[in-house]
Amino acid sequence: MTEDKAWHRIAVLGDSIAVHPGDPVDGYPTQTWTERLVLALAPDEYRNLGVSGARAAEIRAGQLAPALAFRPDLAIVAAGANDAARRTFRPDLVEADLARMIEPLSRGGALVVTLGCFDLSGTLGPDAARRMRALGMLTKRLCRRNGGLHVDFAEHPDQRDGVLGSDGLHINARGHAIVAATLLGALAA
């Protein structure tokens, strides 16, 4: 293990934000933001535990224990969007599940990074967009309380130039490039 790396063991927990490949876009390689991040940071070990469609409670139940056993020094948590997209969204329950992921990862020595979604109001409508913003605010609060880093994409200026794929929910190859570059910039700061 070399000492010149900032992070040696990276774990990603989440839903489709962590694993969706995205639609191709001319001029952009077909690499996910996680693949780009790993190429740039070159950790000794990397685990992406993400599962498409998973809700926060499912991510906690299925991905937290393997992540803790892996002992990451950088843990990226992308959770709650599938909860917030639904009218049945319970911020208190999602916040409890997020806390039960962020706190032990942080106590275990990981820098925890959380993500706020791009603006999906054009696809999901204004009510869901409000729920997504509420999710972003509670995630940011939890993450910062635990000494982590929250990277929010809701107001990202580049999203106006087309970062979403044909389904209007998941990012395309350009979106993956923007997420990776933004995360690398935030981590460097």
> Within a domain: residue 1?
no
> Within a domain: residue 2?
no
Neighbours of 186 (CB within 10 A): 12
Which pLDDT value is given to residue 2? 45
> Within a domain: residue 37?
yes
What is the C-alpha separation between 175 and 106, in angstroms, rounded?
28
SS (H, E, C) the chain: CCCCCCCCEEEEEECHHHHCCCCCCCCCCCCCHHHHHHHHHCCCEEEECCCCCCCHHHHHHHHHHHHHHHCCCEEEEECCHHHHCCCCCCHHHHHHHHHHHHHHHHHCCCEEEEEECCCCHHHHCHHHHHHHHHHHHHHHHHHHHCCCEEEECCCCHHHHHCCECCCCCCECHHHHHHHHHHHHHHHHC
Which pLDDT value is given to residue 123? 85
What are all long-range contacts of 57-62, with beta carbons under 8 Å and residues at least 24 apart?
57/93, 57/97, 59/13, 59/14, 59/15, 59/97, 59/101, 60/97, 60/100, 60/101
Give the CA diameter of the chain.
48
> Within a domain: residue 122?
yes
Q: Within 13 A of 90's CA, how many CA atoms are on the CB side? A: 8
Query: What is the domain range of residue 47?
Result: 9-188
Q: Does residue 145 surpass a pLDDT of 60? A: yes
- Mean pLDDT of all residues in 140-161: 90
> Within a domain: residue 57?
yes
pTM above 0.75, yes or no: yes
Q: Within 13 A of 32's CA, how many CA atoms are on the CB side? A: 14
> Within a domain: residue 3?
no
- The structural domain count of the chain equals 1
Q: How do residues 41-54 score in pLDDT, each as one tens digit?
A: 999 999 999 999 99
Q: How do residues 22-78 score in pLDDT, each as one tens digit?
A: 999 999 999 999 999 999 999 999 999 999 999 999 999 999 999 999 999 999 999
> Within a domain: residue 18?
yes
Provide the CATH number for the domain around residue 62: 3.40.50.1110
pLDDT grade, residue 13 (50/70/90)? very high
> Within a domain: residue 4?
no
Percentage of the chain lying above the pLDDT 70 cut: 98
Q: Closest by alpha carbon to 184, among 32, 2, 38, 19? A: 38
- Mean pLDDT of all residues in 117-139: 91
Q: Does residue 140 surpass a pLDDT of 90? A: yes
